[in-house]
Structure 1
């Protein structure tokens, strides 16, 4: 037994130990497949150290991908860049640890600008890596490359603020933010920009989905039955808020939450009115039934910014209400969730997205769906 043989044996033992440690860093579900692939050739096994993502992609290929050509590149000793290209795998994934891969690696952005910038936002923690890769992949697919870079940064910056369950909504909002000729873009009051923080993005996206809900609940036509008649009493004008545009104008002027009442109005739960004097908006009035009373009542009467309305406005509103034959008003409430959404508004809103992405996702169906809307 020679010294050289002992040294070689020692080096091989160390090399095997290092490989086994790296192998254990892969997800337990796929560890067997990775090990089996690595055992086919020493150069494939070397990928565990030099390019963990490539080894994983060869062992756990995504659907419809044949890894044969990429495997041949590795075994033939070609460059890692060439092997990655054969595997249709971005080279920037080389820097991610084995822990990042918890399923087949989907198509990812690989433009020159993206490659340069994504390197600034890699997760430092291996524990964060799988979530980071998943959200970058999802946002790249659902929105666009700039949004994928943005979410990569935000997840590293404030991991607790990034809720994967909200990424569909944020991605849709980010996508429509740069689609200026679409109906969806028209409904955005604050568009996505790369310098936004996650908290601001969530607020803006929630505001956008509220606008969407108002439109798809009420559609383009005015509300046919406002229960009451427009009129004047004691110098106050009672003006119906019977359309999406009228509700939005009132909400903006009075700084209140009227935009959230789309479903409420569609299910015949209440009606909204504006109280004005000489053209000036004084208060917003909501009429509905409450408790066991089957007749319409004043549910809310608020000044601008939800301030307390003066007594004389309450008196005038009650007097105006009593000028109607309340017994004849149909205030029958529809069971929640049974009023269909407006199909024309739904199709007009989402069609540009379906066409651009060349698919109609199951979570954003062609048939108007309250369940899908609420799940965003």
Structure 2
């Protein structure tokens, strides 16, 4: 009998130790709240072993969620299915370890197809789990369930070094990839597909952001003051690139980075020109007042893929530049960050998303700003 009592005592001690070991695995920033809730009842404490996500959600509820009903389900001994439903916590989170949870759990997809698919892409280690959940939740919130499955797969396949905050823009790019009747879609060069790797998606998203910045910096109207006049010298034509369409077309043809100059152009720091011969693009020319000097000069002159140009092209460009009365030319630069973004273009890009979501997120405001643009 003594032996039986000893074995029972050991089993009880082992059973009691399990929740405690699990509780120690929660992040130090939230462990106090989780532990305090677990002390209220043994059934609540048992969640640390049976359903770590649910215990966390009850201890650190998201804004607007009252955990009282779900907590009552647990204490009364009702099923985890009922308790999870009351807490609006997907059952597939049950498989994630305590280390996963560091901030309130936002709404997540939980349909049958999603549950079956996400089970194949759960994080392989507690170390990856927090960023995995945050990333999946961000993409699900900004885009949709299929994109969240893709994100989960890519994080497990080859965990990228990317700030989850940047994933909002990736989510927007994913969403607009399937919205062909929108300006946001028209600005995308390469669209999202579930089979693409995250590195390719990130490159495509960065290119999309560059196009967005170009359009909201310059707006839909051509640049009114190009400083100089079109002309022809020694058989070379100097054509102004004074609109977003012209700049994008030149960048595509010459395989250069002209799309990144929206901010620069809006602040009157330079002007862009296309150098052509018999209608063929020969070089791209950037005119600027260099080294804070008052007179415009040739800042850059390069061929396709930024190749160096022969002397005769440089000579023609210099001659064309000096056909203008540079002495009388006054270029007033704007202070960096003072050129306003184009409000109609900003709203035209994002309005379909606002309408579909029936809200205007704080991070994607109605009024454009350099802060909001830079944060994307």
Same fold by TM (over 0.5)?
yes
Cα distance in 2 for residues equivalent to 1:263 and 1:33: 47
CA shift, 1:19, in A, is: 1.9
Instruction: Supply the distance in 1 between the matched residues of 2:205 and 2:262 (Cα, whole angstroms).
Output: 17
Following superposition, the deviation at residue 160 of structure 1 comes to 4.2
Q: Give the alignment's Cα RMSD to 1 decimal.
A: 1.8
Deviation at 1:271, TM superposition (A): 0.9
In terms of mean alpha carbon deviation, does 26-35 or 277-286 score higher? 26-35
- CA contact under 8 A between 2:47 and 2:54: conserved in structure 1? yes
What is the Cα deviation at residue 33 of structure 1?
2.9
Task: Give the Cα–Cα distance (whole angstroms) in 2 for the partners of residues 349 and 283 of structure 1.
Answer: 31
CA distance in structure 2 between the partners assigned to 1:256 and 1:162 by the alignment:
26
| Residues in 2 aligned to 1:251 and 1:115: alpha-carbon distance in whole angstroms | 44
8 Å contact 1:161–1:199 — kept in the other structure?
A: no
- The reply on whether 1:106 has 2:106 as its aligned counterpart is yes
Counterpart contact for 2:62–2:105, Cα < 8 Å: yes
Residue 85 (str. 1) matches residue 96 (str. 2): no
Q: Which residue matches 1:241?
A: 241
Within a 5 Å distance, the mapping from 1:328-367 to structure 2 comes to 328-367=328-367
Please report the TM-score for the alignment, with normalisation by the length of structure 1.
0.95
Matched residue SS, 1:161 = coil
Is the contact made by 1:121 and 1:156 (CA closer than 8 Å) also made in structure 2?
yes
Q: Deviations over 1:134-174 (max 9, x none)?
A: 11112211222122112212222222433324212212211
| Counterpart contact for 1:176–1:184, Cα < 8 Å | yes
How far the C-alpha of 1:359 sits from its partner, in A, is: 2.5
Quote the residue 1:262 is aligned against: 262
CA distance in 2, matches of 1:67, 1:341: 44
Residue 313 of structure 2: aligned partner: 313
* Cα deviation, residue 292, structure 1: 4.9
Which position in structure 2 is the counterpart of 1:68?
Answer: 68
Displacement, 1:68?
A: 2.7
Does the 8 Å CA contact 1:221/1:243 hold for their aligned counterparts? yes
- Between the two proteins, the alignment pairs up a number of residues equal to 376
Residues 138 and 164, structure 2, Cα contact 8 Å, conserved in 1: no
2:130 corresponds to which residue? Answer: 130
Distance in 2, matches of 1:53 and 1:293, equals 62
The residue correspondences of 1:43-192 to structure 2 (distance < 5 A) are 43-192=43-192
Mind listing any 5+ residue stretches in structure 1 that lack a counterpart?
none
The two structures have a TM-score, normalised by structure 2, of 0.95
**Contact between 2:222 and 2:243, CA under 8 Å: does it hold in 1?**
yes
Moved over 4 A (4+): 1-4
SS at match of 2:291: coil
For residue 326 of structure 2, what is the aligned residue in structure 1?
326
Cα distance in structure 1, aligned partners of 2:353 and 2:92:
28
Is the contact between residue 162 and residue 198 of structure 1 (CA under 8 Å) also seen in structure 2?
no
**Shift in Å at residue 247 of structure 1?**
0.9
CA separation in 1, counterparts of 2:287 and 2:234?
A: 19
Separation in 1, partners of 2:59, 2:164: 27
Mapped partners of 2:33, 2:20: distance in 1 = 14
